[in-house]
């Protein structure tokens, strides 16, 4: 599903295998699958395509507190 959304919205994603990485397993094991957008937790367990589009679009919008 993320491959299709990536083609549609023009992004690439990185899949991270946490197997054997104890700090990541401790942090994320109960939340898999986990999707982060720009380093922020966006979805756990299930990613609704329309919800992803909305969150992704908001993350791409210029922030008013961003330095010029």
Q: pLDDT band for position 66 (50/70/90)?
A: low
Give me Rg for the CA atoms of the chain: 14
One-character DSSP codes across 46-61: ---HHHHHHHHHHHHS
Residue 30 backbone phi and psi in degrees, to 5 = -80, -5
Contact at 8 Å (CB) between 42 and 35?
Answer: yes
- pLDDT per position as a tens digit, 15-61: 999 999 999 999 998 999 999 999 899 999 999 999 999 999 999 98
d(CA 67, CA 54): 24
Whole-number pLDDT of residue 68: 57
pLDDT at 65 over 90: no
Kindly report the pTM of this predicted structure. 0.79
Whole-number pLDDT of residue 4: 94
């Amino acid at each position: 599903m993320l491959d299709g959304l990536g083609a549609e919205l023009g992004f690439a994603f990185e899949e991270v295998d946490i197997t054997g990485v104890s700090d990541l397993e401790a942090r994320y094991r109960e939340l898999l699958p986990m999707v982060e957008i720009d380093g922020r937790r966006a979805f756990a367990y299930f990613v609704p395509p329309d919800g992803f589009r909305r969150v992704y679009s908001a993350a791409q919008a210029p922030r008013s507190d961003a330095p010029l």
